[in-house]
Structure 1
Amino acid sequence: MTMPKNVLIADDHAIFREGLKQVIATTVDMTVTDEAANGQEVLSKVREKEYDMLILDISMPGRSGIDVLTEIRSIKPKLPVLVLSMHPEEQYALRAYKAGACGYLTKGGPLQELIEALHKVALGKKYVSPTLAETLVSDLNNPSQEELYKCLSNREFQVLCMIASGKPVSVIAGELSLSVKTISTYRTFILRKLNMRNNAELTRYAIENKLV
């Protein structure tokens, strides 16, 4: 008889973690043995303990999930990671896969898709949703359509999406545990790279490219 897979859930919402634990307990041969509420806590637990899988959110206090994922790859390169995020696939999925994720799902997706992804990632395989697969094929057929936002760093991209969502610099700074000056610097870099002048242009660009 095989032992259940030990899973670490990293998400800053306790209610969501509890719901996910119940889903896992009743649908797959896995056991949630640990939880983390922010990026630093995830890294500490991954360093100290052994897990068969990590379910990781992208938007957590402090360091972004993409940054955390990149560091996890250097700590435990063989740890399967399934990213489960509120952000649409077109926003973060490709960045997550490049950083080392084995799968990417949005939190509002069908339960059956989550179960399928859990099974596949637990086996050490990649899970790509039908929607993302279609997008990837489309990009291959249109290689010249390289969106400008792809030149942004992961943190710059995160700040862009938050600005376009209407959040003031002070709020963004608080949510990311960074200074207002640092967020303003990121904003300056974003404007320069995208050749734009203000938040209104950034917001319009984000909407046109379905980033918000």
Structure 2
Amino acid sequence: MKTLLVDDHEIVRRGLKQLLLEAFPQAVFGEASRVPQARELIMQQEWQLVLLDINLPGGSGLDLLVEVRLLRPQAAVLMLSSYPEEEFAVRAFKLGAAGYLTKSSVADEMLAAVNKVLTGGKYVSVALAEKLAIALGNPQQQALHETLSSRELEVLRLVATGKTIKEIAAGFSLSEKTIATYRMRIAVKLGLSTNVELARYALQHHLVD
């Protein structure tokens, strides 16, 4: 089993590798701590399983998820994040993820999720399944940030952490005008104008640490 671990914390990658080796002794691993590094590995090699964090240096794990689905459609992508399921899981599934786990998940749940996605299934925790059922029964409960595109969501998160338009533009290799346009769209969709209001919203909805 060829597995790519994408997380910016070495201790997390090391723990995941140890856990998976106990269940899959013949597993072979690749590791990346940044989006550009992960992208290069995805382009160079085939992978059966990709464990992917959302919050990564050099870009967004959600953007990388889209690239994996385009470049390696046979790979099962399991999102593993510190962010709550209710804030990111639905978006991740829409973008092609096979499963979503929080980093607080126990080892048995992790292995159950890996086995499920490797056989072509989708892994959804019991807690998330209940939340999805409630949301489907009452679409009006959808949070405003669910209307944001993945790039708009990432810009919102970066603005909330205090990044300037110039810094965000440099990180995405985009023009400041483009990022300013994203910032304007976010403000309109959320009905918020100042960076302080955007940061408060992001914190309230657990979009940033």
Q: Does the TM-score normalized on the shorter chain lie above 0.5?
A: yes
1:27 equivalenced with 2:23 (yes/no):
yes
Distance in 2, matches of 1:157 and 1:76, equals 24
Name the SS of the counterpart of 1:200 in structure 2: helix
| Match runs of 1:49-128 below 5 Å | 49-128=45-124
TM-score normalised by the chain length of structure 1: 0.84
- Count of residue pairs brought into register by the alignment: 207
2:128 to 129, 132, 144: 132
Q: CA deviation at 1:170?
A: 7.4
Distance in 1, matches of 2:8 and 2:112, equals 24
Match of 1:15 in 2: 11
Q: Is the 8 A contact 2:155 2:168 kept in 1?
A: no
Relative to structure 2, which stretch is displaced further, 155-164 or 40-49? 155-164
CA 1:37–1:151 in structure 2 vs 1: closer, same or farther (change >3 Å)? same
Percent sequence identity is 41
Q: CA deviation at 1:115?
A: 1.4
Name the SS of the counterpart of 1:124 in structure 2: coil
| Match runs of 1:159-170 below 5 Å | 159-164=155-160, 166-169=161-164
CA 1:171–1:130 in structure 2 vs 1: closer, same or farther (change >3 Å)? farther
Q: Deviations over 1:171-202 (max 9, x none)?
A: 97399566794655533331122221213332
Q: CA deviation at 1:89?
A: 0.9
1:148 equivalenced with 2:144 (yes/no):
yes
Q: Is the 8 A contact 1:54 1:80 kept in 2?
A: yes
CA 1:178–1:108 in structure 2 vs 1: closer, same or farther (change >3 Å)? farther
CA 1:180–1:50 in structure 2 vs 1: closer, same or farther (change >3 Å)? closer
Q: Segments of 4+ in structure 1 off by > 6 A?
A: none
Q: Is the 8 A contact 2:46 2:72 kept in 1?
A: no
Which letter does structure 1 place at the counterpart of 2:157?
Answer: C
**Any gaps of 5 or more consecutive residues in structure 1?**
none
**Any gaps of 5 or more consecutive residues in structure 2?**
none
Q: Is the 8 A contact 1:90 1:211 kept in 2?
A: no
Name the SS of the counterpart of 2:121 in structure 1: coil
1:188 equivalenced with 2:184 (yes/no):
yes
Q: Is the 8 A contact 2:48 2:74 kept in 1?
A: no
CA 1:126–1:73 in structure 2 vs 1: closer, same or farther (change >3 Å)? same
Q: CA deviation at 1:169?
A: 2.9
Q: Deviations over 1:68-124 (max 9, x none)?
A: 111111111121111111111122111111111100011122222111111111212
1:173 equivalenced with 2:168 (yes/no):
yes
Distance in 1, matches of 2:123 and 2:170, equals 30
Which letter does structure 2 place at the counterpart of 1:169?
Answer: T
Match of 2:197 in 1: 201
Q: CA deviation at 1:24?
A: 1.1
Cα root mean square deviation, aligned? 2.5
